[in-house]
Structures are given as structure tokens and as C-alpha cells.
Structure 1
Amino acid sequence: MATAIAAATDRVDVLINNAGVMTRTRQETAEGIELNLAVHHLAPWSMTANLLPLMRPGSRVVNVNSEGHRSPMRGGPVRIDPDDFASLNSEHDFDPFLTYSRTKLANLLFSYELQRRRPELAVTALHPGVVRTDLGRQFPKLQVAAIHAFALSARRGAEPVVRLAVGPEVPSGYYERFTPVRSSPASYDESLARRLWVTTEKLRSPSP
């Protein structure tokens, strides 16, 4: 994908990283990476890394995140240990909600660290709201229907993403839909973000 974009243009003004999964059981990619970690953290990190040479001062990176980064649906703390790959990869303690939250926190740590390393860019992350998508397709239909009953349409969920991507203001930080808010205390841990970056570099190249 990044190679195709580079072949088609000589600059990238806006990059939106928007992909999500939630699995009932632990699943791996062909590389042996747990699927949530691959989709929520490694994929946007890699896409951004490969497109950074095409970005200019003021280019925007928008990472679609989730309020789930604060705590999983079933409660409990969200912790990341970048120095313990088995833990990061949910090899011994997989829980669908905890793993989802952990990988969304990883994505947010990446967002803030990218902004620190590339201050000439405008990097944002956001929770677009609870949106009616197929994210919960592996879960019981009645459970998903109860959530969809008060969820936003896909069109409304996309509105804040578009605003951050092309709106007149130059945004940064974390947003709950259109409103800038403080994310979880763990997301501001700069030491943790740097350690996660180093671990990610070992898994992916080239380096941003």
C-alpha cells in the first residue's frame, strides 16, 4: 500500500490510520503477531514510517483510537510492558477486551511519541464515538445489537475524522469526537512511549 502511494505521488498532506479488530479468541498473523497488536499498533506505525519521507511540515497524521485505551470493558488496569514481547503479544493472558485496550494504548503512545520526534507534523488521535460497524461480528448478536441501538452511524462516526484531517485549524493531541480531552495518565508516560518505540523498531522497518 505505501509503495503504491509513493509511486502515485511525491507528497502526502494527510494520512488517516483507521483500522480496527476485536476477536473473541487469540488470533495471529502469518508473522506470529497477535491480531489486535498487528492492526492497532504495528500497521499504523509501519504505514506512517513508510510515508514519512513524503510528508512536509504541516502534514497531518490522524490515528483513529478509542476511549477503550483507558480501561477494558470488563474493568481493570491497562498496562504495557514493551520489554516483554510475550506480554505485549498477549501470549499468556489473552482477553478480548483487555487486549483491545492494551493495543489502543500502544497506538496512543505511538501518536504522542511521533509528535515529539516530528514536531513539524500535526499528529492527532481520536475516539470517534461508538459507531455501528462490523467490529463486533465475532460476538453474540444480541450483545452487539444492544450496543448498536445507541451507536452512531458510520457517516457520523467519520465526521470528526474528516474535521481533524482537513479542517481549518491545525490540531494535535487527543480528541473525543470534536473535543480535545486528556487521555489516560499512562498514555503520557514518555519513558514507556520511548521503550515501546524501540521495541516496535525491532519488529518493523524502516524507522520513522
Structure 2
Amino acid sequence: MDQLTGKIAIITGANSGIGLEAAKVFADRGAQIIMAVRDTAKGEAARELILNTNNDASINVMKLDLSDLSSVQAFADSYKNQYDSLDLLINNAGVMTPPYSKTKDGFELQFGSNHLGHFALTGHLLPLLKKTRGSRVVSLSSLAHKGATIDFDNLDGTKGYKPMKFYSQSKLANLLFAQELDKRFKQYGLQSLSLACHPGISATNLFKFGKRDAPRLLKTVMHNFLQPPDMGALPTIYAATDPQLTGGEYIGPDGKGQRKGYPTLDTPHASAGDEEVSRKLWEVSEQLTGVKFDFTNAPAQ
């Protein structure tokens, strides 16, 4: 982390939870933070929270709605107009087990936001990642990926929808994307790395009841038994900064069941090891988003 000074990090969903905790740490280490958030008012409040304890923090709040591909495009265009490099892209934001709903583009909300939105964002920002030596993409998966499958015949949920099943599918998609992206970086001789991580079971704003926050008593229980957000952020920070990592790794807590603890190498479930599914997911994601990845330019110098 001593080498973060002057580097630029985009963190999606940086206004709360793991994203906010990672932003605090990166800012403390001298990185310039781009808070890519759906609600810019909440983003500005989070920015002020960090500045209250770190007057020197460099933080910019930019609007990004991952459930709207036009917003993803607009964010990327705006970023590329303002910056000419990108060291860290932290694909962190996510929604968990909402009632059945669709994105602006007609995708099931969890698959559309958690996976397709980040897939499109990464593709749009690929030119800057390629030209920035040592750049990294870190994608947040979850313990929920274990045993999940990608149901290519029902990605939009019109043939039946179970909130947790579709959340698990989206988190498996995040992991498959991270692994496939790293393979392609290496295939084309690029210096960039792609890694996946998960926070264990962390008490964050993902735990909601519909549009309402969890009851106060349940929140107290959650914080007593689950990983607090600052600990839940450690796998993200480790994946983004550890110099020993070579790309393609999956980082999670070292405690029992990988639910709590300090970051270490974890082993993805067998469901994340099917190369045919991984390639098909990539192709389907390009078709659905209309975003094509161009790896062919010269690697970062």
C-alpha cells in the first residue's frame, strides 16, 4: 500500500460499506479516489466523512448507475475526458435479493447491476487500464457463488425468479468475469491484472428488507456476529495492492468457513471452474451490453 501515492482508484458503490472503508484506506495512502455512486448526495456525504479525518484526501464524486447502460457509458466518457490513466478499478457496488425488478435496459436487476453493469464499465475503461502500467481490476464476488449456476435460458427471470438464487448467479458471474478477464490480459501480453475477492459475511447495507433498513435489533446481532465493514474491506484492499499477486486469484477471509478474518488466498467453488461457461458468459455479456473488449493494442510501458 506504500505505493498508492498518486495512483487513481475508481470504487463503485463507495458511499457506504466495504466501498467506503476501502476508499478511506486508499485515500490515507495517498491515492486519488473516484467515488462512482448512484446517489451523488450520499457520495458527497461520504466524501465529507473522509475529509473530516483526512484533510489531504483527494476524492471526486461522480454519478454512476450500474442498472442503466447509458449511465455507465456517460460515466466512462466523463472519466476519460478528465483523466488519462486508471490504476485501480474496484467493481464493488451490488444489490442483494430485491423483489423481482428489471434495469432500465430490461435485465433482471441483480444480474444487470452486479454483473452486466460492471462488465460494461470495465470494457469502456479498458483503453486506460491497458495504458496504465500495473493496473488492476478487482471484482467483488461472494460466498453465495458456491453451488450457483448461470441459467442462460432465464437470465431475465421471466421464467421464474428466486431472489437468493439470482443473487448467487450474479456473484458467480462476477467471479467468472474476473477470471476470464485475467486470462485475456495474459493472452494478449498486457500488464494489467484482474482479481476477485469476497468479504466473508459482512454487516453492510446489502442487508435490507425490501427498501427498508434491517430492524435495529437485527443490526446489533449482525454487527456482533458478522464481519464489520472495515474487516470486510480487507480482501478488497489486499487484492488491489499486494505485490505478490499475479492475477486470477480469489481472496477472502482466513477464518472458519471463510466468513470472518484476515485476507488470504481462497479457492473458488467448482462451479467457477467451467471454462466453457466462462467463455459463454463473456460472449452473452458482450451481446447484451453491446460492449466489446479490445485487448489488441500495445501493453502499458
User: Residue 169 of structure 1: CA displacement?
Assistant: 2.7
Distance 1:144 1:36, change over 3 A: farther
Q: Name the structure 1 match of 2:203.
A: 132
Q: Name the structure 1 match of 2:266.
A: 181
CA RMSD of superposed structures (Å) = 1.9
Check conservation: 2:140, 2:175, Cα contact below 8 A. Answer: no
Three-state SS of the structure 1 residue aligned to 2:243 is coil
Q: Structure 2 counterpart of 1:79, which letter?
A: T
Range that drifts further, 90-99 or 169-178: 169-178
Range that drifts further, 15-24 or 44-53: 15-24
In 2: Cα distance, 1:103 partner to 1:20 partner? 9
Deviations, residues 168-191 of structure 1 (Å, cap 9, x unaligned): 333422111321121011211111
User: 1:62 is matched with which residue: 138, 142, 152?
Assistant: 138
Q: Name the structure 1 match of 2:39.
A: none
User: 1:106 is matched with which residue: 173, 189, 196?
Assistant: 173
User: 2:238 is matched with which residue: 163, 177, 196?
Assistant: 163
Q: TM-score, normalised by structure 1?
A: 0.87
Q: Structure 2 counterpart of 1:36, which letter?
A: Q
Q: Does 1:154 align with 2:225?
A: no
Superposition pairs of residues 1-208 of structure 1, within 5 angstroms: 1-56=75-130, 57-71=133-147, 78-82=148-152, 84=153, 87-119=154-186, 120=190, 121-138=192-209, 141=215, 146-172=221-247, 173-177=249-253, 178-208=263-293
Where do 5+ consecutive residues of structure 1 fail to align? 72-77
Q: Structure 2 counterpart of 1:168, which letter?
A: P
In 2: Cα distance, 1:145 partner to 1:91 partner? 37
Check conservation: 1:164, 1:171, Cα contact below 8 A. Answer: no
Q: Name the structure 2 match of 1:75.
A: none
Check conservation: 2:107, 2:156, Cα contact below 8 A. Answer: yes
Where do 5+ consecutive residues of structure 2 fail to align? 1-74, 254-262, 294-301
User: Residue 113 of structure 1: CA displacement?
Assistant: 1.0
In 2: Cα distance, 1:148 partner to 1:92 partner? 37
Three-state SS of the structure 2 residue aligned to 1:63 is strand
Three-state SS of the structure 2 residue aligned to 1:149 is helix
In 2: Cα distance, 1:3 partner to 1:132 partner? 34
User: Residue 205 of structure 1: CA displacement?
Assistant: 2.9
In 1: Cα distance, 2:99 partner to 2:223 partner? 22
Q: Structure 2 counterpart of 1:123, which letter?
A: S
Distance 1:144 1:34, change over 3 A: farther
Q: How many residues align?
A: 199
Q: Name the structure 2 match of 1:74.
A: none
In 1: Cα distance, 2:243 partner to 2:237 partner? 11
In 1: Cα distance, 2:94 partner to 2:223 partner? 17
In 2: Cα distance, 1:70 partner to 1:144 partner? 25
Q: Which has the higher contact order (CA 8 A, sep 6+)?
A: 1
